[in-house]
Amino acid sequence: MTTTRDAAAPGLARLAGLIADETRAACLLALLDGRAWTAGELARHAGVAASTLSEHLGKLVAGGLLAEERQGRHRYVRLADARVAQLVEELAAQVAPEAARRPRTLRESTAGSAMARGRTCYDHLAGRLGIAVTDALSERGLLRQDTGFALTDAGLAWFDTAGIRLARTGRRPLARACLDWTERRPHLAGVAGAALCRHTLEAGWCVRIGSERAVKVTAAGEEALSELLGIDPATLR
């Protein structure tokens, strides 16, 4: 064998192959909501037979993209970790330019506009809401976006006084940019993004709408975001 083919090529192809099927891609995108779905829910979502989806889940779990948890007769799956979520986001963002076409049906349209207003992206906030928060943090000098993407010392203090604890985990960055595919601009992800999202939901600043990823800012949320970050409630509607 005289070729110098890169040793990582088979692995790369195998990994991409896991995502390269429309049904599996639909599953991964659905799981971007950060929750655990049952196999049946995913089968209905993707529009394939339960037997077909079972095989897909087997491959995704074996490939390390999904984590599973069996409970009685249910098989719950979720994205394996934040790194996998980032990977799927990143790939989806690369596709977005074409996917950001105008919607076809009224249902898609209303659901789309709710998603555009505010949604979760795995474990952090996205959509106009996510952008508004990210921009507000930047304007107040709490987040530095001009030379990269990192919280400032003032930013660390802000999280502290807001009562949002940032757990310094092993590898995961405290702050990271995640490209928003509706706004086409980066929003806050990483440990801080996750903590902020969790806090907004726990404090009742936001509530989930329906069974989708979309979230809605509550009256209490509008007040809190206006007070803590100077976000004009009108931009969130």
3-state secondary structure of 208: strand
Spatial separation of the C-alpha atoms in residues 234 and 203, rounded to whole Å: 21
Partner interacting with residue 52 (select from a copy of itself, DNA, none; CB below 5-8 Å by kind): DNA
Residues 225 and 74: their CA atoms lie apart, in Å, by 39
Concatenated DSSP letters of 49-93: -HHHHHHHHHHHHHTTSEEEEEETTEEEEEESSHHHHHHHHHHHH
Asked if 48 interacts with DNA (CB under 7 A), we say yes
Say whether residue 11 binds DNA (CB under 7 A): no
Q: Which stretch binds a copy of itself (CB under 8 A): 10-18, 67-75, 123-131, 195-203?
A: 10-18
Cβ(23)–Cβ(56) below 8 Å: yes
Looking at residue 48, what DSSP letter applies?
S
Q: Is residue 9 a contact point for DNA (CB under 7 A)?
A: no
Which of a copy of itself, DNA, none does residue 151 bind (CB under 5 to 8 Å by kind)?
a copy of itself
| Interface positions, 54-93, toward DNA (CB under 7 A) | 54-59, 71-75
Which of DNA, a copy of itself, none is residue 215 near (CB under 5 to 8 Å by kind)? Answer: none
Does 223 bind a copy of itself (CB under 8 A)? Our answer is no
φ, ψ of residue 73 to 5 degrees: the values are -90, 10
Rounded to 10 degrees, what is the CA torsion of 150, 89, 34, 210? 110
- Taking CB within 5 to 8 Å according to partner kind, which of DNA, a copy of itself, none is near residue 16? a copy of itself
Which candidate, 44, 40, 42, 33, places its Cα nearest to that of 209?
33
Print the binding letters for residues 90-129 with a copy of itself: x by CB under 8 A, - otherwise: xxx-xxx-xx---x----x---------------------
Residues making contact with DNA (CB under 7 A): 17, 21-23, 38-41, 43, 47-59, 71-75
Residues making contact with a copy of itself (CB under 8 A): 1-26, 28-30, 44-47, 83-84, 86-88, 90-92, 94-96, 98-99, 103, 108, 144-152, 155-156, 173-177, 181, 186, 190
